[in-house]
């Protein structure tokens, strides 16, 4: 909240400052009328600031917009984070998979539902509860991660996760990792909400960017703690569900249309 | 029984002497016939490391350990002591990596000191994007690129090591 306050404190001042702010946001802004701009303030946080619990990153999946046969979010994730697409893997049954596309059909009505499934970034994550080393942890801003420096590969978290969101890396990666995304054999991994992009201030994930680029707009990423954010606004308007809401895990990923 | 104890003692003595000899050997300057000295290639980019060279030789692992926890757990992404930035500067011009060949920056010293590096089980040994894209390289990028294309192989490790120490 303090960030929000400081932002609004700085709002309208000298013309110089206004020009500067105008120039800086012009690229990201959307002109609704001459001189009137609508833009979302990205949560760029300085390098030396730790992640803050004032923010809670979350995602809204609009399954009514998620297209049959489209796999763009999955490929975007694999490209951004450097995991081999399951179809290209030599051992598909044990290949790491950070996000997967589900196409479901209701046996009674034959209604089809499309949705991507990945780590739900639970506020009360069972994977963290069971981890014997503390490697599985929730960051202040709600992103659930594996600290590979302390993960011993026991896979308790994979058993505990109700969403089958986690994978173990079974094979040596032979220096094919992305510089921004360390990964390694013998460690468990899952969706990180593109933590490297979030920390860079991109304010979006690779999957959501790809979905928007494909024109589907089914994925919306943002700060669920900020009442002004696009995701909070949409969550207020749309009926949404948490998968296995009965478990009371308070998920960071919400689905509309399931 | 007594015989057995005697032979055990003798064995113990032999083991101890060997160990002592080995220890003395390690202390003697590793020159001439000793293990080859590590090749320390000057960083391709930048003039001065983020800390004094002597300090870094002894303490880089402490800085890296501290930084890794700050980054992974808290999300602090300062560049100064980050492994990624080490790699940005120290990746070899030949292999584009800090640990692909035996003369590459990290491997060279670590194999001399017989200390296994675990970092690269998970971390990439290469900088992000082509070397010429590095900000420190901006003005000379075009020229470095040409240079690299011309000297295909014969800018040997020894030559590069000449700038070291
Ligand atoms: S979805 Fe699974 S891996 Fe993700 S936070 Fe919840 S329990 Fe952990
Ligand atoms: S596999 Fe790693 S992260 Fe998962 S429970 Fe075991 S130590 Fe923790």
Ligand 2 site-directed mutation target among A152, A161, A165, most atoms within 8 Å of CB: A152
DSSP 3-state of B86 = helix
Residue B71 is classified by DSSP as: I
Query: pLDDT averaged over consecutive 10-residue blocks of chain A (258 residues)?
Result: 42 44 42 46 77 96 96 97 94 95 96 97 98 97 97 97 97 94 97 96 96 97 97 97 97 96
Q: Which of A30-39, A234-243, B79-88, B112-121 has the lowest mean pLDDT?
A: A30-39
- Atom number in ligand 1 closest to CA A190: 3
Rounded-to-integer distance, Cα A109 and Cα A4, Å: 47
**What pLDDT does B33 receive?**
65
**How many CB atoms neighbour CB A177 within 10 A?**
21
- Decide if B67 contacts B52 (C-beta within 8 A): no
Distance from CA of A128 to the nearest CA of B (A): 13
Question: Touching check for B52 and chain A: CB below 8 Å?
Answer: no
B131-140 tens-digit pLDDT: 544 444 443 3
- Decide if A126 contacts A162 (C-beta within 8 A): yes
Question: Touching check for B73 and chain A: CB below 8 Å?
Answer: yes
Do B74 and A50 lie within an 8 Å CB cutoff? yes
Question: Touching check for B28 and chain A: CB below 8 Å?
Answer: no
Q: Which residues line ligand 1 at a C-beta cut-off of 6 Å?
A: A 119-122, 125-127, 144, 161, 163, 165-166, 190
A1 vs B91: which has the higher pLDDT: B91
Rounded-to-integer distance, Cα A38 and Cα A45, Å: 21
Residues of A in contact with B121 (CB under 8 A): 184-185
Q: Which of B55-64, B70-79, B137-146 has the lowest mean pLDDT?
A: B137-146
- Decide if A167 contacts A188 (C-beta within 8 A): yes
**What pLDDT does A213 receive?**
97
B101 vs B138: which has the higher pLDDT: B101
Q: Which candidate, A85, A115, A113, A105, places its Cα nearest to that of A97? A: A85
Confirm or reject: Cβ of A160 under 6 Å from ligand 2. Answer: no
Rounded-to-integer distance, Cα B122 and Cα A81, Å: 13
Rounded-to-integer distance, Cα A138 and Cα A146, Å: 9
Distances (CA, A) of A202 to A103, A220, B40, B107: 29, 13, 38, 35
**What pLDDT does A214 receive?**
96
B7-59 tens-digit pLDDT: 544 544 444 444 444 444 444 444 556 778 888 888 888 888 999 999 999 99
Question: Touching check for B126 and chain A: CB below 8 Å?
Answer: yes
- Decide if B57 contacts A123 (C-beta within 8 A): no
**How many CB atoms neighbour CB A104 within 10 A?**
12
Q: Which candidate, A204, A140, A220, A168, places its Cα nearest to that of B72? A: A140
B133 vs B77: which has the higher pLDDT: B77
Rounded-to-integer distance, Cα A82 and Cα A80, Å: 6
Please give the tally of structural domains in chain B: 1
Q: How much is the mean pLDDT over chain B?
A: 72
Rounded-to-integer distance, Cα A196 and Cα A198, Å: 6
Q: Does the residue B29 lie in any domain? A: no
**What pLDDT does B44 receive?**
81
Bridge partners of A59, per DSSP, are A221, A253
Distance from CA of B76 to the nearest CA of A (A): 5
Of the residues B68, B69, B73, B91, the best mutation for testing chain A's interface (the one with the most A CB atoms within 10 Å of its CB) is B73
**What pLDDT does B113 receive?**
92
Rounded-to-integer distance, Cα A66 and Cα A113, Å: 8
Rounded-to-integer distance, Cα B142 and Cα B146, Å: 7
CA end-to-end distance (rounded Å), chain A: 32
Among the residues of chain A, which ranges form H helices? Answer: 2-9, 15-26, 72-81, 126-130, 156-160, 195-200, 206-213, 230-237
β-pairing, A30-33 with A144-146? unpaired
Distances (CA, A) of B153 to B74, B96, B150: 43, 13, 9
The arrangement of secondary structure in A57-256, i.e. its CATH architecture, is 2-Layer Sandwich (3.30)
Instruction: For chain B, give the number of residues.
Output: 165
Q: Does the residue B80 lie in any domain? A: yes
Of the residues B67, B68, B72, the best mutation for testing chain A's interface (the one with the most A CB atoms within 10 Å of its CB) is B72
**What pLDDT does B32 receive?**
54
Residues of B in contact with A145 (CB under 8 A): 72
Q: Report residue B25 as tokens.
A: 């050997």
H or E, element range at B143: helix B141-150
Biggest alpha carbon–alpha carbon distance for chain B: 80
**What pLDDT does B154 receive?**
34
Do A175 and B120 lie within an 8 Å CB cutoff? yes
CA A190 / ligand 1 centre spacing (Å):
8
Rounded-to-integer distance, Cα A188 and Cα B113, Å: 31
What ipTM was assigned to the predicted interfaces of this complex? 0.79
DSSP 3-state of A113 = strand
Distance from CA of B126 to the nearest CA of A (A): 7
B138 vs B84: which has the higher pLDDT: B84
Rounded-to-integer distance, Cα A209 and Cα A73, Å: 8
Residue B38 is classified by DSSP as: P
Q: What is the pTM (predicted TM-score) of this model?
A: 0.75
Structural domain of B152: 35-164
Instruction: For chain A, give every domain's residue range.
Output: 2-43, 57-256
Confirm or reject: Cβ of A146 under 6 Å from ligand 2. Answer: yes
Rounded-to-integer distance, Cα A63 and Cα A80, Å: 23
User: Which bound ligand lies closest to the C-alpha atom of A119?
Assistant: 1
- Decide if A202 contacts A42 (C-beta within 8 A): yes
Band (B143; pLDDT cuts 50, 70, 90): very low
Q: Report residue A71 as tokens.
A: 């796999």
**How many CB atoms neighbour CB A161 within 10 A?**
21
**What pLDDT does A240 receive?**
97
Ligand 2 site-directed mutation target among A129, A155, A165, A170, most atoms within 8 Å of CB: A155
């Amino acid at each position: 909240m303090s960030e929000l306050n400081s932002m609004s404190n700085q709002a309208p001042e000298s013309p110089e400052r206004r020009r500067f702010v105008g120039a800086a946001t012009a690229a990201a802004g959307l002109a609704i009328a001459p001189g009137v701009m609508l833009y979302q303030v990205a949560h760029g946080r300085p390098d030396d600031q730790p992640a803050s619990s004032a923010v809670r990153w979350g995602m809204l999946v609009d399954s009514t917009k998620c297209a049959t046969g489209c796999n763009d979010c999955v490929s975007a994730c694999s490209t951004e984070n450097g995991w081999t697409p399951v179809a290209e893997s030599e051992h598909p049954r044990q290949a790491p998979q950070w996000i997967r596309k589900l196409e479901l059909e209701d046996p009674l009505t034959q209604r089809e539902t499309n949705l991507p499934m990945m780590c739900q970034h639970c506020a009360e994550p069972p994977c963290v509860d069971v981890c014997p080393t503390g490697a599985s942890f929730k960051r202040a801003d709600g992103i659930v991660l594996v600290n590979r420096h302390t993960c011993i590969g026991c896979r308790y978290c994979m058993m505990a996760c109700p969403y089958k969101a986690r994978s173990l890396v079974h094979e040596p990666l032979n220096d094919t990792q992305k510089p921004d995304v360390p990964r390694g054999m013998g460690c468990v991994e899952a969706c990180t909400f593109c933590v490297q992009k979030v920390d860079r201030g991109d304010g979006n994930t690779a999957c959501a960017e790809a979905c928007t680029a494909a024109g589907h707009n089914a994925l919306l990423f943002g700060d669920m703690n900020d009442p002004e954010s696009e995701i909070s606004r949409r969550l207020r308007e749309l009926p949404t569900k948490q998968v296995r809401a009965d478990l009371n895990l308070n998920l960071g990923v919400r689905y509309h249309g399931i | 029984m007594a015989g057995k104890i005697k032979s055990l003692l003798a064995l113990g003595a032999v083991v101890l002497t060997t160990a002592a000899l080995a220890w003395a050997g390690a202390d003697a300057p590793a020159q001439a016939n000793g293990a080859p000295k590590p090749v320390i290639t000057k960083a391709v980019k930048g003039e001065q490391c983020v800390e004094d060279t002597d300090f870094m030789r002894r303490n880089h692992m402490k800085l890296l350990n501290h930084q890794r926890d700050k980054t992974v757990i808290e999300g602090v992404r300062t560049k100064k002591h980050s492994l990624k930035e080490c790699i940005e500067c120290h990746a070899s011009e030949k292999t584009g990596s800090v640990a692909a060949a035996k003369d590459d920056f990290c491997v060279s010293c670590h194999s001399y000191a017989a200390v296994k590096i675990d970092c690269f089980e998970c971390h990439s040994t290469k900088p992000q994007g082509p070397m010429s894209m590095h900000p420190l390289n901006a003005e000379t990028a075009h020229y470095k690129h040409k240079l690299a294309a011309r000297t295909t192989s014969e800018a040997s490790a020894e030559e590069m090591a000449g700038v070291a120490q």
